[in-house]
Every structure is written in C-alpha cells, then in structure tokens.
Amino acid sequence: MQQPSIMTDVDVLSSRMKSRLHLQTKTIGAERIKKAKDNNEDIAVLSMFLPNASAVEENRNFYCQLGDYCRIGDPRATKAGTKKMEYKTRQWHENCFCCCVCKTAIGTKSFIPREQEIYCAGCYEEKFATRCIKCNKVITSGGVTYKNEPWHRECFTCTHCNITLAGQRFTSRDEKPYCAECFGELFAKRCTACVKPITGIGGTRFISFEDRHWHHDCFVCASCKASLVGRGFITDGPDILCPDCAKQKLM
C-alpha cells in the first residue's frame, strides 16, 4: 500500500532575495564615506564631485566602470557639482550606475549585485527569481517544494479535486499529487466488509487473503462478530467465520 507523503513547507525565495536587496543609496558626508570605505561596507555611496583642492587627487583617480560606454561620454569626467556612485572599489557617474538589463539608472533605489553586474530589483526578479512550476509566475514570498520543484502554496493542489495540499497529507500517482481522500476513492484497495478505501493513512493496518482485503477492524466473524485478527478462520463463500461458528454451521 502506498503511503501518503508529507509535503515540506519552505520559503523558496523571500529569505534569499530580501537579504540581497541593498539599502537605498544616499548622499552622505565625507566622514561617513571614509568610514564606509575603510570598513568595506556592503553599501553604495552617492557623493558629489568637489571643486576644492582636497578633492583633486580623488577626482584624478576616478574612472567610470562603463568605460567606453560611459553615458557622460568621458569615463574620467569629474565636473564639480555632479554626482558619482561608489560601490566596493568601483565607481560610476550617477547616471552610469544602472541596471545591466534595462539600463535604468539605479538612483536611490535598491539594487542587487551579481557576478560583477548590477541589477534593479525588477530585472533581478525577472531573470533569477524562483518561478512556480505550475503557473510560471514568480514566487515572491514563500511557497512549497515538491520533488525539488517550487510551487505557489495556492497552486499546489490535488490533481482531482483541486483542494490545496499545503500543510496536508497527500500522496502521488504517476508523478501527480492527490489528497488522501481522492487517492483512496480513485486508486486504493477497498475493504471487502465496509467497501471503503484502505488508504494506509497514519499506518492503518489491513489484512489481505487471496484477492480480498479488510480493514484491521473489519476483519471479523460474519456470525459472532469476533475479531479474527491473528486467529484462524474459515471462508464460507463471501463470508469469513471463526472456527467455532464454522463448526456450528456444519452441525
């Protein structure tokens, strides 16, 4: 008898993705910028090109990461009053710090770095986020996995009656999930006595003899109703009898 499976409830996206969303970039003071750089903080720093003498060396070392594709036209341009973005050890002009897919400037929005590329949240989700195997839509806040494939909780339903299976006992046939009730009605053996399905749920015990099957509690003498579990019995056509009742019938 096939035993129902227990579906594991997991968060397939939200905890992984949200942890990679970066804080909004902000224009901050020189002291805070120095602290961020010294501590190699995982934040992007938006600052301004300054005209004073103290910024000459810093401006001289600036080079926009877009290089020949710099939107300003000159990757070394450091016009006073314009802004630059710094992330880790890399630098961009403010308008050059953009999503590698849609090319929209990140500005003060959240972004996600991946393998040296910068993505806006929308494009990252579209390209890398987990999608439901049933509806192919992005799973944005949790979900369930079955056979290592992700599903929305509301999409993971019984193949026959469409009731949600999230957190419920279920089993499968031909790689398709079924609730315990539908599986029993459609595929399970049926008890010879009560004609109800024998599902095996919760370790249900049953008895088989030749091509007949009984629930543990239904395996009783047809005459005196005594349990025949673990005892000898006699078949009498469709009935089963305990030895005592069988003797009385023959007398």
User: What is this structure's pTM?
Assistant: 0.49
Q: What is the pLDDT of residues 141-172, one digit of tens each?
A: 778 888 888 999 889 999 999 998 887 888 88
The CATH number that domain 129-185 falls under is: 2.10.110.10
Q: Does domain 202-249 have CATH number 3.30.465.10?
A: no
Q: Which CATH number is associated with domain 30-126?
A: 2.10.110.10
The pLDDT score that the predictor gives to residue 32 is: 64
- Kindly tell me the burial class for residue 192, based on how many C-beta atoms sit within 10 Å of its own C-beta (0-12, 13-18, 19 or more): buried
pLDDT averaged over every residue in the chain? 79
Domain extent listing, the chain: 30-126, 129-185, 202-249
Look at residue 173 and give its three-state secondary structure. strand
